[in-house]
Amino acid sequence: MEISTPGRICLFGEHQDYLGLPIIALAISLRINLSGKKISGRVIHINMPDIKEQKKISLDDLDYRDSRDYFRSGIKVCQNEGLRFSEGFTCKIKSKIPIKAGTSSSSALVVSWINFLSRMADDSVKWDQKKIAELAYKAEVEEFNESGGMMDQYSTSLGEMIYLESSPKVRVKIINTNLGTFVLGDSGEEKDTMKILDRCKLNQKLVLDKIYQNNSEFDIYKKSQTLDLSILTENEKKIFNGLLKSKNILELAHLELKKSNLNKRFIGNLLLEHHQVLRDVLKVSTSKIDRMIEAAMKAGALGGKINGSGGGGCMFAYAPTNPEKVAKAIKSVGGKTYIVNSDIGTMKIKEV
């Protein structure tokens, strides 16, 4: 059995999904492949040659070894859904998705793992992509009480371009618009995803809690409201206004993406505006990533932004024309580049 799952970029709504606000994300044509077969015994052997690691897991010992033990959490989540595994597997994982760089390599792995496990169970099932996303979120976020939202799991599982709302209930739609080509640029800078997520989530939630306490009618999901912001410090006002600006940028992008005659330059400008909030308000960009975006723009890109939680990792440039020239420009300032397009979601590609 072999499962293939895409990575993703977040177009709009970065650092907002964990607040229950919408996001727009795009699955990209860099994928992870997980292949495996059943073996006798109750042990799972996992070979990950890309990172030169191997894992050995007993089905009779699923106690977590660390705070992100996704292979064991995936098995537990599937067992909670009624799946049983009387035999072990041998598995191999190969990926073209940049690792720890903001392109959902870990979520693509968990989605692949859930998809694989469902088909390898004693009584195999074929869950739809939304179900796989839901269970991947449980395995990756809920099991370890982490700060992330649902974007990564739904985007990599469903594929294409999605609009996702996670509050007050999960609602996801495919946006059938062809944006064309993007250039993903990996800065090579290491990032601490959980630290950045915790900081940004805490800062924004503290501001929102203050506003709710003094504005009983306030609803973050409504568009226009009269608020008393006098209780906020100047920095808190900056955070709140940045949150509203990013929310407004997403709403404008969503309206534009539904048009039959898409204004690609407008979309590019919105990406840049979103990046400015992430850079100047949430402080998640880096000087190198800013140089990569600047080089891309000078080479003809229509827009771009940092991708993922930030603090390093990847950026992307929107380059529906001349992506090779944009890629060359990003390389000239030290980035590793990938020319990507939209791609389909998790799928079984063959029997092994």
Cα–Cα distance measured from residue 63 to residue 18, given in angstroms and rounded to the nearest whole number: 27
Span(s) in the chain for CATH 3.30.70.890: 183-340
pLDDT digits (tens, 9 = 90+) for 282-317: 999 999 999 999 999 999 999 999 998 899 999 999
Per-residue pLDDT at 351:
66
Write out the two tokens for 263: 């204004």
Say which amino acid occupies 126: K
pLDDT digits (tens, 9 = 90+) for 6-63: 999 999 999 998 888 999 999 999 999 999 999 999 999 999 999 999 999 999 999 9
For the segment 239-262, the average pLDDT, to the nearest whole number, is 95
Res. 352: pLDDT tops 60? no
Write out the two tokens for 201: 């989530």
Per-residue pLDDT at 223:
66
Per-residue pLDDT at 197:
86
Per-residue pLDDT at 166:
84
CATH architecture for the domain at 183-340? 2-Layer Sandwich (3.30)
Angstrom distances, CA of residue 59 to CA of 21, 43, 56: 38, 6, 10
Cα 340 from chain centre: 16
pLDDT digits (tens, 9 = 90+) for 114-134: 999 999 999 999 999 999 999
Cα–Cα distance measured from residue 103 to residue 214, given in angstroms and rounded to the nearest whole number: 38
Cα–Cα distance measured from residue 302 to residue 86, given in angstroms and rounded to the nearest whole number: 53
pLDDT digits (tens, 9 = 90+) for 225-246: 678 788 899 999 999 999 999 9
> By the 8 A CB rule, do 330 and 123 touch?
no
Per-residue pLDDT at 118:
97
For the segment 192-198, the average pLDDT, to the nearest whole number, is 86
Per-residue pLDDT at 86:
96
For the chain, what is the HEC assignment? CEEEEEEEEEEECCCCHHHCCCEEEEEEEEEEEEEEEEECCCEEEEEECCCCEEEEEECCCCCCCCCCCHHHHHHHHHHHCCCCCCCEEEEEEEECCCCCCCCCHHHHHHHHHHHHHHHHCCCCCCCCHHHHHHHHHHHHCHHHCCCCCCHHHHHHHHECEEEEECCCCCEEEECCCCCCCEEEEECCCCCCHHHHHHHHHHHHHHHHHHHHHHCCCCCCCCCCCCCCCCCCCHHHHHHHHHHHHHHHHHHHHHHHHCCCCCCHHHHHHHHHHHHHHHHHCCCCCCHHHHHHHHHHHHCCCCEEEECCCCCCCEEEEECCCCHHHHHHHHHHCCCEEEEECECECCEEEECC
Write out the two tokens for 343: 């791609």
Per-residue pLDDT at 192:
84
Cα 69 from chain centre: 19
CB neighbourhood size of 286 (10 A): 19
225: CB partners within 8 A, 6+ apart: 215, 217, 218, 219
Q: What are phi and psi of 10, to 5 degrees?
A: -95, 115
- Quick one: which of 197, 183, 128 has its CA closest to 302? 183
Angstrom distances, CA of residue 62 to CA of 58, 79, 153: 7, 11, 22
Span(s) in the chain for CATH 3.30.230.10: 2-178+343-350
Per-residue pLDDT at 177:
94
Per-residue pLDDT at 324:
98
User: Quick one: fold of 2-178+343-350?
Assistant: Ribosomal Protein S5; domain 2 (3.30.230)
pTM above 0.85, yes or no: yes
Per-residue pLDDT at 148:
76
pLDDT digits (tens, 9 = 90+) for 142-183: 999 887 789 999 999 999 999 999 887 889 999 999 999 999
